Every structure is written in structure tokens, then in C-alpha cells.
Structure 1
């Protein structure tokens, strides 16, 4: 029997890398990083065979291309998404450049939103799936010098709750879940 597939974004380091290790024996993974060379050592260390799908999420067109490629790669066994990729560019709000703000919005909000949209279409066809969105405790408490980052992480919580409510209204028989984890 074919293993279920799970996408892990931001898999090259930190929490994403740890998630990849935790899931690698049970699932076939689609690992994301900005650059494929970032995943080389991880692929050698993981159990099983896994796929790589890279994109620079700071560029919205790259996110759109990523989602198109994900549709082709996912197949009938596509089961889960861990929206983990994120960036924090810490500095006082009054000194945040528009480029830095756009980068955080694209990586932390728009990419997970578009990936979730793509995944939901696939999950509905499969009648099951799970979206795990990585939030942050600062999304609930706020933090000095992290106004934009805190805002993006707070949006993950409300996006997740809205997805869960929406799916239950579309079809109560679907086994599709959406959760946020806020380390």
C-alpha cells in the first residue's frame, strides 16, 4: 500500500527539519526549501524515499508555480500539509521597509493561504486531509520589534479556524482537519 504524502514547508532547518524527521517513517514527504541544496543532507538522513519541491516564497509568482507543481506531484495519496516556512525580520515598525513587510506577508501569510487552497481542492477529492499551520506565541501576545511577524502569525490562527469552519459547512462527512500549532 502506498504511503500517504505530506508536504512540509521550510523543511531544511529548525522546526521544519524536526517535523520531517518525525514524519519520515510514517509518510512519504514532499519537502520544501528555497533551494534544493538546502535539503541534501536531510534527504540522506531520513527514512524512506521523499520528494523535493523548492520555491522562494518571498516571490508570489514562485508560490503560484509551487502550487501548480504540488497539484501534479500530490496524487491520490496526498494527505497533509505542514505550513511551517516562515521568516521574522525584527526591527521597529517605523523602520520596516515595504520590501521586508512584503517578504514577511508573502512567506508567512500568502504562501500558506495559497498552499492551503490548493490542498483543500485535493483533500476534497480524497475525502480526507489535514492542514497544520505553524503559528507562534507572539501571534497571541505581540512582541516589540516584531509587529509584522506577530501580525502574520496571528493571521495563521484565524485562517486555520476559518478553514475548519468552512470545510464543516461544505460537507460534514469529509475527514478534513485544520489546526494551528503555536510554539
Structure 2
């Protein structure tokens, strides 16, 4: 099989959480352009329908299914509706996340801790478990968990967020170890600072942004589209022997300073 064909995702079905904007939307478009049937998902039905319609106008196959991933019943519905509509599930991208607190570890409270853990760790765990039966029956599947360089290297002010991403990376490794026998691969992607609405509080700070750009070898922040290529590799047969990895896409952040 040629390398070009190994990137082909025709016939595959992908669910991408948090895909009405930012990194998730870029990932969803990349998967769809490679031939996958994609499920656009975020909290508001209007938002996911708008993205799905835009994709459809471009000749891509997509539907929108709203899901608040912090709600167990909605997670179950997302996976059930995907299978009911497409008849299978091949790729799960756990992208949706929150960061409701910026500051020292001791400055947060139990409610904030529970909220960020519920969305950033419990939801990907639950969605992966819900996807498992379909992938197991097919003897194939790719789970891609969007973590962060903050899960590999601690920084100031993002302690709780870093903890969730470190947990997500370890969950990835355990999924790979336990589910490889079923033909299921699990990998994590660890982005650096990306210019999205989610991280606006960081890159809109001129002093912080300038310091970051001077520090990283590539000398700039990333755009959302720059994460899609790595997902294409991990989702397709081109990455068929890749599992249990945590891959940084950070402009060299981890090797700087």
C-alpha cells in the first residue's frame, strides 16, 4: 500500500469533542478532508450544526451532535447517536477541555478542582470506555487524547490544568497497554501555546506572548491548523504501529530554557 493510501480515511467514522471552534474544528476538517465521516460535537447544537453545514457545503461528510462532556448521560447519547447514524466508530478525539482557574495550587477550591477533573479527565475516560465496545468488535480503532505540554512540564499558574493533562497522558498509556490486544491504539498530543479563544488570556498578554516567542526555538505561537497533521498520522494506517505515545507539538518549548 502506498503511503498516500495509508493516510486515506474513507469509510472511517470520527467523533471530535470540542470541535465547533479552535483546535477541534481544525482537526475535524482535516479528518473530513482525508475522507472520514465526522461528528462535530460541543455543548450547543446550533454551533455544531453551523460547522457541519459549512463542511457539507465543501463536499465533506459531517453531522453535528451536541454534548456537554461533563454530563454522563450526554456522553452516552453522543456515542449512541454516532453509531445509530453511521453504524460504526473508528476514531475518537478527546479534545474538549476547560481551564476555569489561573493561579497557585493553594488558591483554588474543591469545587473548581472537581469541575476541571470532571471535564478534562473523567469525560475522556468515560467516552473512551463507551467507544470501546464498537472498536473492539471491529478489532480496530484510534483514540487520540489532546493533552498539553503543561502535562509534561510544570509552569506557574496552571497547576490544576497541568495535573489534568498529566493524568490524561497516563490514561492514554494505560489504554494503549490494555486495549492493544483488541487492535485499538491510543496516543496523546501535547500542544504548546496555540492562538485560540481557549488560550486567549495567555497570548493576549503582550508581555507573556513576547517572552514565549523569544523562548521557543521556532519563535512564534502555533495556529490551530498546525495540530491537524499529527492527528491525521495517528488516526490513519500511516500510524498503524504508534500507540501509547505522547507527542509534543510545541515549537520546541520543552527543549528551551
Q: Into which bin does the TM-score normalised by the smaller protein fall?
A: 0.7 to 0.9
Q: Distance in 1 between matches of 2:159 and 2:72?
A: 22
CA distance in 2, matches of 1:74, 1:93: 43
TM-score by length of 2: 0.63
| 3-state SS of 2:152 partner | helix
Deviations 1:2-27 (A, max 9, x none): 72110000001111011011111210
Instruction: Give TM-score scaled by structure 1 length.
Output: 0.87
- For these two proteins, the number of residue pairs brought into alignment is 177
Give the match's secondary structure for 1:43. Answer: helix
Aligned partner of 1:94 among 106, 109, 127: 106
Q: How does 1:6-25 map to 2 (within 5 A)?
A: 6-25=14-33
CA displacement at 1:33 relative to structure 2: 0.2
Gaps of 5+ in 1: none
Q: Aligned to 1:153, what secondary structure does the other structure show?
A: helix
**In 2, Cα distance between equivalents of 1:15 and 1:157:** 18
Aligned pair partner of 2:37 in 12, 17, 28:
28
RMSD of the alignment, in Å? 1.9
For the residues of structure 1 that align with 2:157 and 2:47, how far apart are their CA atoms?
28
1:125-144 pair list within 5 angstroms:
125-144=137-156
Residue 95 of structure 1, CA deviation? 2.5
Task: State the alpha-carbon separation in 1 of the partners of residues 20 and 43 from structure 2.
Answer: 9
Query: Does the C-alpha gap of structure 1 residues 64 and 106 become closer, same or farther in structure 2, counting only changes over 3 Å?
Result: farther
Aligned residue number for residue 207 of structure 2: none
Residues 59 and 106, structure 1, Cα contact 8 Å, conserved in 2: no
Q: Flag the 1:40–1:68 CA change in 2: closer, same or farther, 3 A.
A: closer
Structure 2 stretches of 5 or more lacking a match? Answer: 1-9, 192-257
Residues in 2 aligned to 1:97 and 1:166: alpha-carbon distance in whole angstroms: 34
Tell me the secondary structure at the aligned position of residue 86 of structure 1.
Answer: coil
Aligned to 1:50: 62
Measured after TM superposition, the shift of residue 79 of structure 1 is 0.6
Structure number, greater radius of gyration = 2
